[in-house]
Amino acid sequence: MFNDTASPLSLLATRRSGKPRDLIAPGPDADQLADILRIAARTPDHGKLNPWRFVVVDDRDALSALICDAYRAERPDARRLEIEAMDQFSRQAPALVVVLSSPRPESHIAIWEQELSAGAACMNLLHAAHAHGFAGAWLTGWASYSDAVRDAFGQAPERIAGFMFLGTPSRALDERPRPEMTAIVSHWPG
């Protein structure tokens, strides 16, 4: 097993992102995925607005067609390798969840706080996948900023917060360099 789930702290300390192209079957089954999404929804949410949604992508052929067509429409001079990259993006890992930031502009809660909540939902999703013994990757890229792709999943003011790829690592996950704590932590003396 690639994930250390011996204790809650070791679980948090050992979560790493996998490269989507290196995530293989098995992915989470329907019950595991439902549990992962329930846990992801337990995120800080000022005002109890649920300013995010989860869309499970079941049909990767349809997703590939959507992304490739949208890319060609926006970039009619796109070359074969660019289109192949869009197709490959769509087909990585055995499970894929699109997380949408779904702000409620009519609320008195700042949009920024609602967007942060969507990001927290993405992070909770990755932690929940790790707790189930899977690895995940949170990708954005061109497709996240395409209105045509977004419109297939939702509508403005929604935005794609991320494509969450889930599966079993095909190899040990790399540990990336972490920042020196002295560079990112300070104390305010008052």
pLDDT exceeds 50 at position 61: yes
Averaged pLDDT, 161-167: 98
Three-class secondary structure of residue 62 per DSSP: helix
CATH code where residue 123 lies = 3.40.109.10
pLDDT recorded at residue 10: 83
pLDDT exceeds 50 at position 47: yes
Instruction: Output the average pLDDT for the chain.
Output: 94
This prediction's pTM? 0.93
- Tally the domains of the chain: 1
pLDDT recorded at residue 64: 98
pLDDT recorded at residue 13: 84
Measured in whole angstroms, the distance separating CA 6 from the mean position of its chain's CA atoms is: 25
pLDDT recorded at residue 1: 40
Would residue 81 count as lying in a domain? no
Would residue 87 count as lying in a domain? no
Domain range spanning residue 120? 18-58+93-170
Would residue 72 count as lying in a domain? no
